[in-house]
Structure 1
């Protein structure tokens, strides 16, 4: 993306603006950890209506009384998503009695390919405890917006299925009352995830 040497005029200002935009996108795409603050806890999460692998309607109120550990990804994800789901399953196995208080929820950002049956089957491959959810493109856009999740289609070839999905990777812990508790890094170790859940779940 190199261009000709800058000449006179407002090029430096445009350069600074471009740097600012890139930094903002970087923060957004990585989940915006600096964005989460006590004043904005109520802004994370909200009403949603999706469908699980058995065709049942699942809303934000379905698992009230338990903690929801929410993660957004997609079934064609080559590395981060399967690693994160494996870590969730392993952490729950190490959590002891508190594991019964946590419902892991995997929401696809690729509803075109990830039907409820597909994402439900995929989530169950890692653990029967993980609930896979899908919906229409509009429903996914709504719930992703409520959790401030970035996602975008990245075309990789000429075919209709030749694409991947760029998406932020954060675990959102929601409390038994439906309120946001804390973000948890999705790319840490099983031990760090287990320790975080042990500390936050009561």
Structure 2
């Protein structure tokens, strides 16, 4: 009798485990998957109009012109921004001629200091990278549309710096969000994501 009860308990435990797995998998399809699909189609979409250093307007329609990488930063950034721009140049070199199809945008989170001329000089050493700026209002709209973080941090003497998201957002040729590249992500992983965007 004890053996039968033990066997029944084991069977019930297995059934409970299977049901839990079904709920977890089902939950992914019902909650996570739709959420990912929603992000893919809405990230970067919004009513913002910015100015690029190449003389063009930067709007949500810009993302539909081909594969692109979008990074938010500022020219007074002491480490993250120059490091990321350097990484982008390394990735482009590794990609070879395929990199010519990738449009890279450096969007400032500090438009009060980052004018178009200053941005143009800042990205001038990075071929293929276009700076993007605009009014504070329009930049804030873009920050919200791309769901990135930015915050002004006061410094001594009345100066300030900016905290901001430190990842590169990748969009496919249809303007849909594909993947983020984290700050100092492994090169192989970053290149795999970039190739997927370029080939998609």
Q: In which range does the TM-score fall when normalised by the shorter chain? A: 0.7 to 0.9
Q: Hey, what does 1:145 align to over in structure 2?
A: 144
Q: Which runs of 4+ in 1 moved over 6 A?
A: none
TM-aligned CA distance change 1:68 to 1:148, over 3 Å: same
CA contact (8 A) 2:116 2:133 kept: yes
Q: Hey, what does 1:30 align to over in structure 2?
A: none
Which of 158, 162, 180 does residue 183 from structure 1 map onto? Answer: 180
Q: Hey, what does 1:77 align to over in structure 2?
A: 77
Q: Secondary structure at the match of 2:156?
A: coil
Structure exhibiting the larger radius of gyration computed from Cα positions: 2
Residue 63 of structure 1, CA deviation: 5.5
- Work out whether 1:171 is the aligned partner of 2:168: yes
Q: Secondary structure at the match of 1:182?
A: strand
Structure 2: distance between partners of 1:134 and 1:73: 11
Q: Hey, what does 1:43 align to over in structure 2?
A: 42
Structure 2: distance between partners of 1:55 and 1:101: 19
Q: Secondary structure at the match of 2:81?
A: helix
Q: Hey, what does 1:135 align to over in structure 2?
A: 134
Q: Hey, what does 1:88 align to over in structure 2?
A: 88
Q: Which runs of 5+ in 2 are unaligned?
A: 1-34
CA contact (8 A) 1:67 1:176 kept: yes
Using the TM superposition, name which of 107-116 and 51-60 deviates more.
51-60
Structure 2: distance between partners of 1:40 and 1:176: 16
Give per-residue Cα distances to partners, 1:71-117, cap 9 Å, x unaligned: 00000000011000110011011102321221011000000100111
Residue 54 of structure 1, CA deviation: 4.6
Q: Secondary structure at the match of 1:88?
A: helix
Task: Give the length in aligned residue pairs.
Answer: 164
Residue 60 of structure 1, CA deviation: 2.9
The within-5 A match list for 1:1-202 is 37-47=36-46, 48-62=48-62, 64-125=64-125, 127-159=126-158, 162-202=159-199
- Normalised to the residue count of structure 2, the TM-score between the two structures is 0.75
CA contact (8 A) 2:179 2:193 kept: no
Structure 1: distance between partners of 2:100 and 2:55: 23
Q: Hey, what does 2:26 align to over in structure 1?
A: none
Q: Secondary structure at the match of 2:77?
A: coil
Residue 123 of structure 1, CA deviation: 1.4
CA contact (8 A) 1:87 1:189 kept: no
